[in-house]
Structure 1
């Protein structure tokens, strides 16, 4: 598709260097990578991801989502994932835009478009792929193109963003976007549980405690939480703990015992076992590898 080539040229122009590049347009991030990466662990926030060039895989639980210029990715809640750029080179780098999904913007659009669905559907997996349409691609091009004329961003970027979201509403992802926007829906109950875990991941908790925060029964929370995130609340907590410990060891030079204690582990041996199971190497070896290859640090190339 010629439009994909145009979007790739725009992302290449305005990203400049490898990595994540925030832009002057609110919620719009450009991502560039000139070589395949190792698997990267990160907490992915709600977003639309459109690849203009190259290919990437994201793993959530046992499911692999493979997307490229023909397929976009929608993420509906904050969820720990493993991402890996699998097709990129210096001459044809991986190029992607990420548009973070704001529930307030979505709610206003749904209200204006008359696209609200009064029924609260059961939550779905937080990740979903769909086919890129020409209309969606055209709106994305016009949004990124505004980076060339900063004076127009304040007036025109919200219009281009609304068009992108409007196009998504009229795809199979429409129900997912309406769930993100609903303040009283089941997905927001799961979000309340996720927010509580993110704020208190260092502390022990029971499923009943999280269920009370989410205003759900313990059994309903367990089932819906696993459907959305592909993990239980305790597994979600463990992912957050280990990712934060990794960040502390790399960024603040804490040793494994100190980092494990900081994120809530009482047993250094348990911390080392669970760290190795998630990241594939003991803490000291993994941190040494990360320091040798800074681009492998979690979250570098979402």
Structure 2
């Protein structure tokens, strides 16, 4: 980490926050996820508080410029707000709530994790001796220091102007990645992204599961492909995802079915078949158990509450957005 921190007076810091929120309000005019000229970046606006919503995030970085989100995972609470960003290195299902209102909407940046960019930066950090040992974690809440805030402000200012967004945007995304990878939580994130050891085997199993969620997958098959015994696979899978392989598969199918119904306007029966369910009635029961609404009610709610963008083309993971 740099040993020459920048210090702002509280008034300057508040002005910086207000400027970030003002820019992001322009960049996110619609409630829900707003697309940008950068394929891996979306801007989020939420005009209402949300309570205990099941989510499945793609690997990525969430930077909140106004409002607050809380993620509940593995008995821990992960706060991401004006002072903390959320980093997800493997897709994990968790529960989330949002503090927001029409008068003061939640405004956030969502960056799909660019594994190549992260790997390039990790290699450079290693070569410069900046690497430190860390325990891999699937999800981290990382403090927003002054340098990271400065990078985010410059990024938002550039994204307002199409030419600057196209030319400067990618370099400023790289700058944001650098500050996060070089932060106090950086070693944990770098260890997770390196995908070594048992964590790495589970991470690769998750990729397989997301690519083949509609197939009749078994724990024995996933364990064998991960190079583990079934008992060891169960233990390490739960340590990373906080759930069992079959419960994770079910959650992935249900999140994908919900998006198929919203995006493609297909029926619950068609969505259930597409994600691998043999029984539409079983699908409807499990869907309501997870989301608290029937498929028809949930699709209606999603369309009313959010501008749901098309799927991120480069993503290999199912997600809830």
- TM-score range (shorter-chain normalised) is 0.7 to 0.9
Q: Report deviation, 1:160.
A: 2.3
Q: Partner of 1:25: helix, strand, or coil?
A: coil
Q: Report deviation, 1:301.
A: 8.9
Q: Partner of 2:56: helix, strand, or coil?
A: strand
Q: Distance in 1 between matches of 2:177 and 2:272?
A: 41
Alpha-carbon displacement from aligned partner over 1:73-107 (angstroms, at most 9, x marks no partner): 11111223343322232x32211112222121112
Q: Report deviation, 1:227.
A: 1.9
* Superposition TM-score, scaled by structure 2 size: 0.79
- Alignment partner, residue 190 of structure 2: 178
Q: Partner of 1:246: helix, strand, or coil?
A: helix
Matched, 1:43 2:56: yes
Q: Report deviation, 1:44.
A: 0.8
Q: Partner of 2:63: helix, strand, or coil?
A: strand
Alpha-carbon displacement from aligned partner over 1:95-134 (angstroms, at most 9, x marks no partner): 1112222121112112223357596x6542x222132211
Matched, 1:157 2:176: no
Q: Report deviation, 1:45.
A: 1.2
Aligned length: 298
Q: Distance in 2 between matches of 1:270 and 1:296?
A: 29
Q: Report deviation, 1:159.
A: 3.3
Alpha-carbon displacement from aligned partner over 1:143-177 (angstroms, at most 9, x marks no partner): 12112343344553343223222222332321233
Q: Report deviation, 1:236.
A: 0.9
Q: Distance in 2 between matches of 1:208 and 1:79?
A: 21
Correspondences of 1:47-66 after superposition (within 5 Å): 47-60=60-73, 63-66=76-79
- Seen in structure 2, the aligned counterparts of structure 1 residues 166 and 296 have a Cα distance that, compared at 3 Å, is closer
Q: Report deviation, 1:50.
A: 1.4
Q: Distance in 1 between matches of 2:286 and 2:116?
A: 38
Alpha-carbon displacement from aligned partner over 1:16-36 (angstroms, at most 9, x marks no partner): 222212222353221112222
- Alignment partner, residue 123 of structure 2: 111
Q: Report deviation, 1:203.
A: 2.4
Q: Which runs of 5+ in 1 are unaligned?
A: none
Q: Report deviation, 1:250.
A: 4.5
Q: Check the 8 A contact 2:253/2:275 in 1, yes or no.
A: yes
Superposition CA RMSD, Å: 3.1
Q: Check the 8 A contact 1:38/1:296 in 2, yes or no.
A: no
- Seen in structure 2, the aligned counterparts of structure 1 residues 131 and 261 have a Cα distance that, compared at 3 Å, is same
- Seen in structure 2, the aligned counterparts of structure 1 residues 23 and 259 have a Cα distance that, compared at 3 Å, is closer
Q: Partner of 1:164: helix, strand, or coil?
A: helix
- Seen in structure 2, the aligned counterparts of structure 1 residues 147 and 283 have a Cα distance that, compared at 3 Å, is closer
* Superposition TM-score, scaled by structure 1 size: 0.84
- Seen in structure 2, the aligned counterparts of structure 1 residues 289 and 148 have a Cα distance that, compared at 3 Å, is closer
Q: Check the 8 A contact 1:41/1:82 in 2, yes or no.
A: yes
- Alignment partner, residue 95 of structure 1: 107
- Alignment partner, residue 295 of structure 1: 306
Q: Check the 8 A contact 2:70/2:96 in 1, yes or no.
A: yes
Q: Which runs of 5+ in 2 are unaligned?
A: 1-12, 312-318
Q: Distance in 2 between matches of 1:118 and 1:66?
A: 24
- Alignment partner, residue 157 of structure 2: 145
